Amino acid sequence: MELNQSNQFHNWFRGISAFTVLATFGLVILGGVVRVTDSGLGCPDWPACHGGIFPPLETKAIIEYSHRITASFLVGPLILFLFIASWMRYRQEKWILIPASLAFILVIAQAMLGGATVLAELPGATIMAHLAVGETLVATLVVIAVVAYRGPLSLKIPDWGVGKVRRFPVLVSIAGVAVFILLLSGSYVTITGAFGACTEWPVCNGDVIPEFRLQMNHMFHRYVAAVVGLFVLYSLHLGFRGRTQPIEIRVLSMSAVALFVAQVLVGAFVIWADFAQDIRALHLAMATAVWIAVSALVVMTFSSPGSRWSGASNG
């Protein structure tokens, strides 16, 4: 195959990989809507819904079923495509092949966890595992998309990492792990039934350190958010400080900071709006948006722009 034909294929793959990230983000938002509307048992059986192919005309059943349909007929096939394409066309590219294979495994595991969550009537541990696998899947798809656009990863400090900015690659990687922990701590609040235990922000019913267990569980997430937030903001400011970073690193670092600050404010509005469902859903969506931005920033930091794919000359 000629080089220009190969490049055309790469553009097609890039578009599909980017769209898959967006579709999976949409699926996560739908999952958040299922959670905040208490629609997890809208379809109490799996994979059917009330024993049928289509859900009954009930709001919770339709919300839950829409989540299943999106997973089964949009996100699942897209990930299957990436998996097949990686083995057929990118077998020599480990930064495409391995993440695409992992994404395929994760989406199967996610489907099984989703079914187990429903059949076991929403146990807390399974709900948290479902979230953890889902967010890991999102990050894996981000790897594929960024690598497809920018080139394979190199696990070393990039050339632009000089002076104080040299610490940025390591710190932003740690920040990514910290954001993931923050996501799980938010899920912990929900599964322990502590979501509405604190009706004030930033304190909890007048106390910084509350006495009751549920209130402490709720405040645990805020404590984690405070620690993680300070570390993430410090790490990300190195991404746009100075002049050595590529423009995309600078812009994405500033965007991630803006998203994180907005997420904190939305979290406060959840309390101030008396736990309104739409604000709660926005809070969950913003959390995943922060996760995507930081994940993309980590991958972009270690990617090699302009690297020539071995597949570009393999025909």
CA 257 – CA 291 distance, rounded (Å): 11
> Which has the closest alpha carbon to 191: 131, 265, 112?
131
* CATH code of the domain occupying 153-315: 1.20.120
**Residue 116 confidence class, pLDDT cut points 50, 70, 90:** confident
pLDDT tens-place string over residues 35-45: 889 898 899 98
**Residue 225 confidence class, pLDDT cut points 50, 70, 90:** very high
User: What Å distances lie between residue 60 and 31, 80, 188, CA to CA?
Assistant: 12, 29, 23
* Contact present, 153 and 302 (Cβ < 8 Å): yes
pLDDT tens-place string over residues 154-196: 888 888 888 888 999 999 999 999 999 999 999 899 888 888 8
- Burial (CB < 10 A; 0-12, 13-18, 19+), residue 52, is exposed
pLDDT tens-place string over residues 66-77: 999 999 999 999
pLDDT tens-place string over residues 120-164: 776 778 888 989 999 999 999 999 999 999 888 988 888 888 888
> Which has the closest alpha carbon to 36: 12, 16, 14, 60?
60
Q: Is the pLDDT of residue 8 over 60?
A: no
CA 65 – CA 274 distance, rounded (Å): 27
The number of residues in the chain equals 315
Q: Is the pLDDT of residue 315 over 70?
A: no
Mean pLDDT of the chain: 89
What letter represents residue 52's amino acid?
A: G
**Residue 282 confidence class, pLDDT cut points 50, 70, 90:** very high
Angle formed by the axes of helices 124-150 and 3-36, nearest 10°: 160
**Residue 1 confidence class, pLDDT cut points 50, 70, 90:** very low
Range 276-295 burial, b when 16+ CB lie within 10 A, else e:
eeebbbbbbbbbbbbbbbbb
Q: Is the pLDDT of residue 230 over 90?
A: yes
- Quick check: helix, strand or coil at residue 50? coil
pLDDT at 307: 53
* Contact present, 109 and 133 (Cβ < 8 Å): yes
pLDDT tens-place string over residues 234-271: 999 999 987 889 999 999 999 999 999 999 999 999 99
**Domain residue extents for the chain:** 1-150, 153-315
- For the ranges 52-56, 67-71, 84-88, 116-120, which has the lowest average pLDDT? 116-120
